[in-house]
Amino acid sequence: MAFESLSDRLQNAIGKLRKKGKVTEADVREMMREVRLALLEADVNFTVVKDFVKKVRERAVGAEVLDSLTPAQQIVKIVNDELTKTMGEEAVPLNKSPHIPTIIMMVGLQGAGKTTTAGKLANYLIKNQKARPLMIAADVYRPAAVDQLKTIGQQLDVPVFDMGTDHDPVEIVKQGMIQADLQKNDYVIIDTAGRLQIDEKLMTELENIQNEVHPTEILLTVDSMTGQAATEVAKGFDEQLNITGVVLTKLDGDTRGGAALSIREVTGKPIKFTGQGEKLDQLDVFYPDRMANRILGMGDMLSLIEKAQTDYDEQQAQEMADKIKENSFDFNDFLDQMDQIQKMGPVDELMKMIPGLANNPATKNLNVSSKDLDHIKAIVYSMTPQEREEPNLLNPSRKRRLAAGAGRPIAEVNRIIKQFETSKKMMQQMSKGNMNGMENLFGN
């Protein structure tokens, strides 16, 4: 998971304070030493670490923290605030041109995920703004890049303008823009060439394209797994091209988080999106505050809700809520719910977004796979329609039959029915606004 090792280290360092009744200045100093090491090990830029530690220390040794009844909590809040500030405070949306088309120029080193991200952005714009983008294949150096973009275009049903690999990229872009004008595309996404490292020829080519079309956005894709190197790359590109934002790719594999924590401070340019996997819908808006929450194991409820909103069928969700209120939620609804959840992605990743569960030892090794959900579904499918509506009808002999029908142990059948009843009760209480009992879930 993204930032796992940094997360563990920071929480450990702060966790030690929680065990103390009273926190002294020496305790804070000791904690900050560990925080500093954790950040350096996460490959955060040295100057950023120094600055961060200084700010947290100054605030943490203040009288109102040390004298407070809950110093550890106050310190968590300070660390959270400062992490958020380091990453840029607010999410920065994509710039939009007052005239169509808005031109987004993708730049970055080879392999950083530029072409994939071009496709992800097109998909994002279609989903969120009902946009009609055109993509231009101007990476004529990497042999497969043009075909790769065309394949992505086909998958998304987005037109791709290309002239093969024998033309000058500036000419390709020029012609592509004419096509966009004719088709009245509202967005143009230009995929440019990358190199293994920054070189002059590449930069000149990118500058030529920039001067030709004056893009609304110059988005740099950097591979987060390269840590400090990603920060250096961002600095290099920004100095030459004055980029407007960064897309941090491959965050799904980055356990350290150094790039995310350094880029904003070092370049002054916002991270606008993160790539969280190879699929074209795995692009997320970057919210510094939510990222800080996740690093500190406080979950990311807002992203979870947003995810649910995009992936969830709203009408179905409303019907479900009504059923819960009326206490008529049955195993049929339960099956629908499971389908909806499975659409949202891996369950263990979703669980980690829930406050208190994020780094709770109980869920740490939780490995709820799609297979587990399939087992549960198999059991529910073995019930008769009437049993699904009225689980009370399930007597021991029927339960045995269910287990045999689904090929699962009887204990699992019993457990699922019990869990269903418990969650039904809990949901009903929550729907009445009674949150009692929930604090057990969120407690640390």
Closest distance of CB 176 from ligand GDP, Å? 17
Q: For the chain, give the secondary structure using H, E and C.
A: CCCHHHHHHHHHHHHHHHCCCCCCHHHHHHHHHHHHHHHHHCCCCHHHHHHHHHHHHHHHCCHHHHCCCCHHHHHHHHHHHHHHHHCCCCCCCCCCCCCCCEEEEEEECCCCCHHHHHHHHHHHHHHHHCCCEEEEEECCCCCCHHHHHHHHHHHHCCCEECECECCCHHHHHHHHHHHHHHHCCCEEEEEECCCCCCCHHHHHHHHHHHHHHCCCEEEEEEEHHHCHHHHHHHHHHHHHHCCCEEEEECHHHCCCCHHHHHHHHHHCCCEEEEECCCCCCCEEECCHHHHHHHHCCCCCHHHHHHHHHHHCCHHHHHHHHHHHHCCCCCHHHHHHHHHHHHHHCCHHHHHCCCCCCCCCHHHHCCCCCHHHHHHHHHHHHCCCHHHHHCHHHCCHHHHHHHHHHHCCCHHHHHHHHHHHHHHHHHHHHHHCCCCCCCHHHHCC
- Position 233: which residue type? V
Region of 38-46, 113-121, 235-243, 294-302 interacting with ligand GDP (CB under 6 A)? 113-121
Closest distance of CB 216 from ligand GDP, Å? 21
Closest distance of CB 254 from ligand GDP, Å? 9
Closest distance of CB 124 from ligand GDP, Å? 13
Given 5, 110, 316, 332, the residue binding ligand GDP (CB under 6 A)? 110
Q: Which is nearer to ligand GDP, 108 or 258 (CB)?
A: 108
Given 249, 293, 303, 359, the residue binding ligand GDP (CB under 6 A)? 249
Given 71, 88, 108, 159, the residue binding ligand GDP (CB under 6 A)? 108
Count other Cβ atoms within 10 Å, centred on residue 309: 10
User: 271 near 246, Cβ under 8 Å?
Assistant: yes
Closest distance of CB 287 from ligand GDP, Å? 17
Given 252, 281, 348, 412, the residue binding ligand GDP (CB under 6 A)? 252
Q: What is the footprint of ligand GDP within residues 271-290 (CB under 6 A)?
A: 275-278
Q: Does 153 bind ligand GDP (CB under 6 A)?
A: no
Q: Does 257 bind ligand GDP (CB under 6 A)?
A: no
Q: Which is nearer to ligand GDP, 139 or 333 (CB)?
A: 139
Closest distance of CB 348 from ligand GDP, Å? 17
Q: Does 129 bind ligand GDP (CB under 6 A)?
A: no
CB-based closest residue to ligand GDP: 275
Q: Which is nearer to ligand GDP, 276 or 382 (CB)?
A: 276
Q: Does 253 bind ligand GDP (CB under 6 A)?
A: yes
Q: Which is nearer to ligand GDP, 86 or 249 (CB)?
A: 249
Closest distance of CB 195 from ligand GDP, Å? 10
- Helical pair 4-18 and 25-41, crossing angle rounded to 10 deg: 170
Q: Does 336 bind ligand GDP (CB under 6 A)?
A: no
Region of 16-24, 62-70, 269-277, 312-320 interacting with ligand GDP (CB under 6 A)? 269-277
User: 22 near 48, Cβ under 8 Å?
Assistant: no
Binding site listing: 108-115, 191-195, 249-252
Burial class of residue 5, CB neighbours in 10 A (0-12, 13-18, 19+): middle
Q: Does 226 bind ligand GDP (CB under 6 A)?
A: no
CA distance 130 to 151: 21
Closest distance of CB 141 from ligand GDP, Å? 10
Q: Does 113 bind ligand GDP (CB under 6 A)?
A: yes
Q: Which is nearer to ligand GDP, 116 or 226 (CB)?
A: 116
Q: Which is nearer to ligand GDP, 278 or 322 (CB)?
A: 278
Q: Which is nearer to ligand GDP, 141 or 420 (CB)?
A: 141
Q: Does 345 bind ligand GDP (CB under 6 A)?
A: no
Given 9, 57, 59, 250, the residue binding ligand GDP (CB under 6 A)? 250
Q: Which is nearer to ligand GDP, 141 or 312 (CB)?
A: 141
Size of the site for ligand GDP (CB under 6 A): 17
Joined together, the tokens standing for residue 265 give: 């401070």
Q: Which is nearer to ligand GDP, 253 or 437 (CB)?
A: 253
Binding site listing for GTP: 108-115, 191-195, 249-252
Of 102, 121, 85, 104, the residue nearest 273 (C-alpha): 121
- Summarize as ranges the residues that interact with ligand GDP (CB under 6 A): 108, 110-116, 194, 249-250, 252-253, 275-278
